[in-house]
Amino acid sequence: MSESVGFFTKACVVLVLLCGLHLIVALIFYLSESPLAKFRNYRHISFISDMVNSQTHGELGQADNETLDVAVYKRIYNNETVIIGDVEKPAEVLESCPETSPLLVGQLRVEFSTPVDFNLVRQGNKHLTMGGRYTPTKCVALQKVAIIIPYRNREEHLKYWLYYLHPILKRQLLDYGIYIIEQDGENTFNRAKLLNVGYAEALKEYDYDCFIFSDVDIIPMDDRNTYGCSSQPRHLSVSMDKFGFRLPYKQYFGGVSAMSKKQYEKINGFPNNYWGWGGEDDDIFNRLSIRGMRISRPSAEIGKCKMIRHGRDRKNEENPQRFNRNAHTRQTINTDGIRSLKYKVVNIEKDLLYTKIRVDIGKP
Ligand code: BGN
């Protein structure tokens, strides 16, 4: 009897020891696994369950085709072969786009002798989504850019602008949207106020961090002139054919310019009370220098632009008050700008190539 009790006790002790050993070995294995390896296993399991799900629903698509997305995916997950099928790849898999896009070609031929047609431009830009939006698919864009164009009665120019710019902006790997801000009615044109409206309206749609303010008749002649923002406000139309391919004067900030949200907010946006032609761009320059910013520019070669020739628009005569207004930017910068902007949206049109917003901005 006592013999069998002794044997039973020994057997229990051995069993307890074996359990302890098993526990220790399991613990060592668990702790030695890196977090990445654990994540990888987790992803693996989740992909398998995704596959099972899609198979049960009969939706499994083409497996493992070697697109760039798949290649990036494999590299990040240690070259583990997984069948991807139609499973949407997680956003964090995409890397940031490079600072300098490898798709750029440099100098471009720009001419306005052959008319362009909206439908042809749409057909040539099938990569866009409604509202003139594009996001790179193989990498995460460095900037979210809203391009704002003040507009009235310039359809011919708009067609050229869209025809030339969409392919350039795509090659520049920008996450961008095009906003045409059309002044409603027949009152005197107000470029800067329309730009303010564009800023406010674009931000209602998306978390843009960079804003390009462009005239509808200016086309860049080199795709290395990035339509993006820098640490300082940037002037992009630095050597226009109209001015003999150089700056008309050192403080010139008209045509095409770029400002981050932070830079724009720092100057309270643009003045709302420049009705008619001229001076508003100089006021913006004054605002930037009052707030201690400097203008950055591309080189004269990269900054080459063509302007579509045209006569002076009706209801955009020279503003005789521009000299006086310009002399008082310091007094108006805080009271007149984006913080005091008032307007009424009349209509919003979503085209594949652009978002056109018609606005009532009042009169002088
Ligand atoms: C300048 C205009 C700019 C215009 C450029 C280029 C003025 C100064 C008012 C104090 N500035 O002369 O608005 O963009 O020419 O055309 O008129």
Which residue in 134, 197, 200, 214 sits closest to 170, CA to CA?
134
Contact 117, 159 (CB under 8 A): yes
The torsion angles phi and psi of 222, rounded to 5 degrees, stand at: -155, 125
Q: Is residue 338 in some structural domain?
A: yes
Query: Do 63 and 151 belong to one domain?
Result: no
Residue owning the nearest CA to atom 8 of ligand 1: 279
Angstrom distance (rounded) from CA 81 to CA 216: 49
Angstrom distance (rounded) from CA 354 to CA 364: 28
69 belongs to the catalytic site: no
- The number of the ligand 1 atom at minimal distance from the alpha carbon of 280 is 13
Helices (H), the chain: 2-32, 35-56, 68-76, 118-123, 155-171, 191-205, 261-266, 280-290, 322-326, 329-332
Angstrom distance (rounded) from CA 222 to CA 241: 13
Q: How many CB atoms lie within 10 A of CB 332?
A: 17
Query: Do 195 and 79 belong to one domain?
Result: no
Query: Do 340 and 229 belong to one domain?
Result: yes
Angstrom distance (rounded) from CA 178 to CA 160: 14
Query: Do 53 and 135 belong to one domain?
Result: no
Among the options 57, 294, 309, 312, which is catalytic? 312
Secondary structure letter of residue 114 according to DSSP? S
215 belongs to the catalytic site: yes
Average pLDDT, consecutive stretches of 10 residues, N- to C-terminus, the chain (364 residues): 65 78 72 42 31 27 30 38 47 87 97 95 97 97 98 97 98 98 97 98 98 98 98 98 96 98 98 98 98 98 96 91 98 98 98 98 97
Please report which helix (H) or strand (E) contains residue 348, including its range.
strand 344-350
312 belongs to the catalytic site: yes
Query: Residue 320 corresponds to which tokens in the numbers above?
Result: 């005789």
Angstrom distance (rounded) from CA 121 to CA 98: 27
157 belongs to the catalytic site: no
pLDDT of residue 4: 58
Q: Would the CA dihedral through 347, 350, 351, 353 be positive or negative?
A: positive
Query: Do 237 and 163 belong to one domain?
Result: yes
Q: Is residue 15 in some structural domain?
A: no
Query: Do 82 and 129 belong to one domain?
Result: no
pLDDT of residue 30: 61
Distance, C-alpha 68 to centroid of its chain? 21
Cβ partners under 8 Å of residue 272, min gap 6:
190, 192, 193, 196, 336, 337, 340, 341
Domain membership of residue 50 as a residue range: 35-93
Domain of 219, CATH number, reads 3.90.550.10
Q: Is residue 106 in some structural domain?
A: no
Among the options 50, 175, 182, 217, which is catalytic? 217
User: Ligand 1 mean position to 282 CA, how many Å?
Assistant: 7
pLDDT of residue 100: 95
pLDDT of residue 36: 39
> How many structural domains is the chain composed of?
2
pLDDT of residue 29: 59
Pairing relation of β-strands 144-151 and 175-183?
Answer: parallel
User: Ligand 1 mean position to 250 CA, how many Å?
Assistant: 12
User: Ligand 1 mean position to 240 CA, how many Å?
Assistant: 15
**Residue type present at position 316:** N
Ligand 1 — pocket residues by CB below 6 A?
A: 248, 254, 278-279, 281-282, 322-323, 326
Secondary structure letter of residue 256 according to DSSP? E
pLDDT of residue 11: 78
Which of 235, 240, 281 has most ligand 1 atoms within 8 Å of its beta carbon, as the pocket-test mutant? Answer: 281
| DSSP-derived 3-state class of residue 355 | strand
Query: Do 50 and 176 belong to one domain?
Result: no
| DSSP-derived 3-state class of residue 149 | strand
Query: Do 182 and 51 belong to one domain?
Result: no
Look up the pTM and report it.
Answer: 0.77
Which of 252, 275, 282 has most ligand 1 atoms within 8 Å of its beta carbon, as the pocket-test mutant? Answer: 282
102: exposed, middle or buried (C-beta count within 10 Å: 0-12, 13-18, 19+)? Answer: exposed
310 belongs to the catalytic site: yes
- The number of the ligand 1 atom at minimal distance from the alpha carbon of 281 is 13
- The number of the ligand 1 atom at minimal distance from the alpha carbon of 255 is 14
